[in-house]
Amino acid sequence: MSHETRRTERAGVVLAGGYSTRFGEADKAVVDLAGTPMIRRVVDRIDPTVDELVVNCRDEQIPAIRAALEGGPDASFAVDPIPDRGPMAGIMTGLGEATAEYAVVVACDMPFVEPALVDHLFDRAAGHEAAVPRLEDQWFQTTQAVYRAEPMADACDRALEHDERRVVEPLLDLDYVVVDEDEVREYAPLETFENVNTREEFEAALERLEGE
Ligand SMILES: Nc1nc2c(ncn2[C@@H]2O[C@H](COP(=O)(O)OP(=O)(O)OP(=O)(O)O)[C@@H](O)[C@H]2O)c(=O)[nH]1
Ligand SMILES: [Mg+2]
């Protein structure tokens, strides 16, 4: 799609197509976190920063996620044609559904995602193909980053063709900007990257929210 025909400037792609194996029985995307389903909290937090919202998940997750988002901002669903190919496949599917030139990709298990940082990532990505946070002594935060939709989706496609699952592989194919820890701290507490994988991490997130 050419730039001129894109309908919006900024999209939000929320990744929810994982199997929550470390979490246990339930789908962590829709688990109740202090009265709000986790994915609803993520969607509500990024909504003010974007013109459109896309949720990437598996077909069978749609009813529960739709219920979790009821009464909230409109979101379209982008279903993985092949499930279980990892977050990168989800990013590709979600970016393919988005009509915006740039999209912030956020995992559904990052309930403290900071909108001010998302805004800044969009600003930093302008004129480039990605803006990705990277904390000291840590790897790229590829599931809280802004990508130019078309080149990133294409790069994901190429990586998957080579059986490559790490999101950093398509990223390195792009003209990307690194947002380092000092720069992140100007816009967000580092909890913005906290992600809920286990019951213990869930309890910790709950405690933080109840203390707010
Ligand atoms: N579309 C898609 N998204 C995925 C896949 N695996 C993980 N994700 C998403 O990527 C983000 C980070 O993944 P994880 O924290 O590993 O989530 P998960 O895979 O559900 O959980 P575990 O099974 O415990 O690893 C989450 O938003 C997941 O929903 C996948 O195979 N397909
Ligand atoms: Mg996983």
- Give the closest ligand to the alpha carbon of residue 17: 1
Please say whether the beta carbons of 179 and 100 come within 8 A: no
SS3 10: strand
pLDDT score of 7: 57
Ligand 1 pocket (Cβ < 6 Å) reads 15-23, 56, 80, 84-87, 89-90, 107-109, 143, 195, 197
pLDDT score of 2: 47
Please say whether the beta carbons of 90 and 170 come within 8 A: no
pTM: 0.96
- Give the closest ligand to the alpha carbon of residue 85: 1
The dotted CATH code for 9-211 is 3.90.550.10
pLDDT score of 25: 81
pLDDT score of 1: 46
pLDDT means over runs of 10, the chain (212 residues):
61 98 95 97 98 97 98 97 96 97 98 98 98 95 98 98 94 97 98 97 95 79
pLDDT score of 56: 98
pLDDT score of 63: 98
Atom of ligand 1 nearest to the CA of 85: 31
- Give the residues across from 11 on adjacent strands: 52, 103
Q: Which of 39, 60, 197, 198 to mutate to test the pocket of ligand 1 (most atoms within 8 A of CB)?
A: 197
Is ipTM > 0.95 here? Answer: yes
Atom of ligand 1 nearest to the CA of 93: 1
pLDDT score of 150: 98
pLDDT score of 211: 81
pLDDT score of 212: 77
- Cα first-last separation, the chain: 43
Please say whether the beta carbons of 109 and 195 come within 8 A: yes
Rounded Cα distance between 13 and 11, Å, is: 6
Please check if 98 is assigned to a binding site. no
- Give the closest ligand to the alpha carbon of residue 91: 1
